[in-house]
Amino acid sequence: MKTRKKFFTKKNGFIFAFLLPGIVLFGIIYAYPLIDIFITSFTKWNYKNFLQPEFLGWDHLFDNYIKLFTVDKNFMVAFWNSIKWVILTMVVQIPFTLLVALVLAKKPRGWRLTRNAFIIPNIISTAAIGLIFLNIYSPSRGIITEVCNWFVPGSNVSVLANEGYAFWGVTFSFILFGGSSCLLLLTQIFSIDASLYEAAKVDGATGIQVDRLITLPLLRPMLGTVAVMAANYGLLLYNEIALITQGGPDNATYSLSYYIYKTALGSTKLNFARGNTAGVIQFLLGLVLVGMINRAFRTNKVD
């Protein structure tokens, strides 16, 4: 007959005591605000009833969500822009970063200098990056305008004043800056057993075959992690927009994060309920993205 192990033991008590501060901090800093955002998304809460959100009632429970997708054009612009930025990080940033990591892993001449240069944009504050690109896109002195005027004299192209150009202007301010992801991939590549590469060389495998059959399969879990990081960055994009375009022109470069700020705090109406509703949608969209990426890269499985 099996005896039940006691849960309340001295050892478990010490473990719980060490975990308790972290649990309390998590509850106060993360769990409580998240629960509050969910609850207030079903209320009427703005500058008129700042101190007391009003429950919408069961008949109108999802009104805030319905209005976002049917009435609020700025939200739909922000929603689709964020989706586009997530897709672009996956199809542009991740392959580019992976390619750089694979090249640097072969340690060509000057690889350390290249690695350090590639990480520089990731250690500079986004405020500085924003100011740099603001000057690059400046219609009066920006290098983009100068290049366009060189090819087409008098064109005076203004990237930030054109809806189509402004989206791509924001995109290029971050899309190629994958230094942190490159370091993670490089670390994973260097941790692969060198005997695998030696055996492949003995068998006559080419460099491309080695990368395809050895390096990439063993990089899969780390690629999944890097993909989650990149997708979340695209979904949560805020600083570049706030510093370069402020959502313009004509709100064409809104992201979900910037929409939440402008709706809840950036206008005189202070529509906290609608801002929190957009926050819930952003949170759920993030969960879906993480689930899809983990499933695609099978990060929870070890071959």
In a domain, 39, yes or no: no
Distance (Å, whole) CA 258 – CA 281: 14
Model pTM above 0.85: yes
- For residue 93, which amino acid is it? Q
Mean residue pLDDT of the chain comes to 89
According to the model, what pLDDT value does residue 222 have? 93
According to the model, what pLDDT value does residue 146 have? 82
Provide the 8-state DSSP code for 252.
T
In a domain, 90, yes or no: yes
In a domain, 43, yes or no: no
Q: How many domains does the chain have?
A: 1
Q: What is the CATH number of the domain that holds 180?
A: 1.10.3720.10
Average pLDDT estimate for 74-91:
96
Residue 1, pLDDT > 60, answer: no
Distance (Å, whole) CA 187 – CA 96: 17
In a domain, 87, yes or no: yes
In a domain, 259, yes or no: no
Segment 44-64, tens digit of pLDDT:
998 877 878 899 999 999 999
Residue 133, pLDDT > 50, answer: yes
For residue 198, the enclosing domain spans: 80-254
In a domain, 142, yes or no: yes
Share of the chain above pLDDT 70, in %: 95
Query: Do the beta carbons of residue 247 and residue 160 sit within 8 Å?
Result: no
According to the model, what pLDDT value does residue 75 have? 96
Provide the 8-state DSSP code for 95.
H
In a domain, 51, yes or no: no
Query: Do the beta carbons of residue 40 and residue 272 sit within 8 Å?
Result: yes
According to the model, what pLDDT value does residue 301 have? 63
In a domain, 49, yes or no: no
Average pLDDT estimate for 292-303:
77
